[in-house]
Chains A and B, each alone.
Chain A
Amino acid sequence: MERRIILPGEKIAEGRLSAPNTYYDGAVTYAAVIGMVDDEGRYIPLENRYRPAVGDVVVGMVTDVRHAGYEVELNLPHGGFIPTRDVRLTLQLGDFVICRVKMVNEVGDVDLGEVRRLPKGKIIEFPSAKVPRLIGKKSSMIGLLKDYTGGDIMVGNNGYVWMSEKSDMPLLLKAIAMIERKAHKSGLTDEIANFLRSQVGDKPRTPAGGEPQEGMEPEVGQGESGEETGYGSGQSESESSGDNYGQQ
């Protein structure tokens, strides 16, 4: 598949196209961030600054415990907030959580709900533009990583990735770095599978299902949909992956 890199200010389409990370100016839609256009004319951002949208799944860390609720660090300019009335569990400073964005106001404050506490582990940063690639079509990539590194993984649309302390972290980090580096290539799932096999052999380690998860269903942010054609298709169809920048 032919892919062309385009820079901010380059034309994507005649007329108004409602795609994330674009803007329109009269009769034309332009790219606002560096991205790629495939031979079907789809625009796939290569970088973006994550802006939370209602319905997004985010991963974060509790940084303040107050009477009214919990402050959560989300790798955003402003923290998220979990109102106490919306949660049954009691959280503590330093707890890792996965939640859904319930509300975003006009100055960027984020209210969170559907909160689950995550077990002991570690959070790393991953470029939010490439999150759909890390999740994979129908969570295929995440499944692969869990199988071969022996621990659970949670991915937020905000680019925070939680990994269980039970995983083989050095291996997992290598695999994630590889996904980040090759996010724009096709056939990535196969390549990662081959890499993991070369490191640990044919047999996956403990199946991820064997991990105690505090009654938690595995959940991740928006993954890819449709054919494996890069990480664009999931993005543009998803209401949760940002909006465009409107008329400029």
Chain B
Amino acid sequence: MASSESKVPLIIDGRRTDGRDMEDLRALRVEVGVIPEADGSAYIEWGGNKIVCGVYGPRECIPRHGASPYHALIKCRYMMSPFASLEEHSRSGPSRRSTELSKVIREVFENLIIAEKFPNTQIDVYIDVLQADGGTRTASVTVAAVALANAGIPMKDMVSAVAVGKAGGMLALDLNKIEDNFGQSDMPLAISHRDKRLLLVQMDGLLTREEVATILEMAERGCDKVHEVQADALKRFYQKGEGETFKW
């Protein structure tokens, strides 16, 4: 991403290409219980991202010899649809990138899920990116936390995620796809809500120490806003009256 610096103007008159301030989130909407067949589910629209998450379990571990007698295994599959980008139709199935993201997302939830009470089982977290617009991994963590809450999987805390990056020489919260492609650096973070622990940390590009410190502050404020949307979605779902059905 750093190579193509400044070919595309990312900041004009202190505003970003989509008119946002440096600490504004893109439009964010979360809906709960969108996959009735799943034990828990949620859907997120974040900027141009559209991501659905379904949770199953704890259920019998397959294959059995992979099971642990001490805790539930958490299995996570992040997948990008072949039609998720404006570019050409991509290959279906897991890529090297999606394998890595599945792992880092799983490692977020291994910190939160109280797995010891479900020996010899697995909990499946399926995340499907239907439409991508930069920041899919952070949106995935955000939507998966809501789906897990909807499934009633015991967790120590909720988690929210957001990326902060450097675009047009300035630090900006919640990079969109253009900023992600043409910006200088990108740092996706997932932060637990109550005790503010970092559960996902990745970075690419170049940042100074001070910039990282600023990014962490910005991300924490950003995650608090994301948490409000998550909490609101769950509250709406559990308080909704009759006839309120979700529209895709």
Contacts and interface: CB of A to CB of B under 8 A. Distances in A.
A touches B (Cβ under 8 A): yes
Nearest to B59: A77
B152 A77 contact: no
Contacts of A214: none
B130 interface: no
A33 interface: yes
B156 interface: yes
Interface stretch (A44-52, A145-153, A233-241): A44-52
Given A32-B155, A33-B149, A78 B238 contact: no
Interface stretch (A6-14, A85-93, A204-212): A6-14
Contacts of A5: 234-235, 238-239
B118 A77 contact: yes
A49 B120 contact: no
B238 A181 contact: no
Nearest to B123: A49
A181 B33 CA distance: 12
Contacts of B40: 47
Given A47-B40, A77-B118, A107-B69, A9 B193 contact: yes
Contacts of A34: 149-150, 152, 234, 238
A8 B146 CA distance: 10
Contacts of A51: 117-118
Contacts of A36: 238
B143 interface: no
B152 A33 contact: yes
Contacts of A245: 114, 116-117, 154
A9 B194 contact: yes
A9 B114 contact: no
B154 A7 contact: no
Given A32-B154, A34-B234, A184-B238, A47 B59 contact: no
A7 B40 CA distance: 15
B242 interface: yes
A8 B157 contact: yes
A49 B151 contact: yes
A49 B231 contact: no
Interface in B22-49: 39-40
Interface centre among A8, A30, A106, A184 (most CB of B within 10 A): A8
Contacts of A30: 156, 194
B158 A7 contact: yes
A243 to B, nearest CB: 8
B238 A48 contact: no
Interface of A: 5, 7-10, 21, 23, 25, 30, 32-34, 36, 45-49, 51, 77-78, 106-108, 127, 129, 181, 184, 245, 248
Given A34-B234, A181-B242, 5 more contacts: A23-B156, A33-B149, A33-B154, A34-B152, A108-B120
6 contacts: A8-B112, A32-B114, A34-B152, A51-B117, A245-B117, A248-B114
Would you list the 7 A-B pairs with minimal beta carbon distance, nearest first?
A47-B152, A9-B157, A32-B154, A8-B155, A77-B121, A9-B194, A48-B152
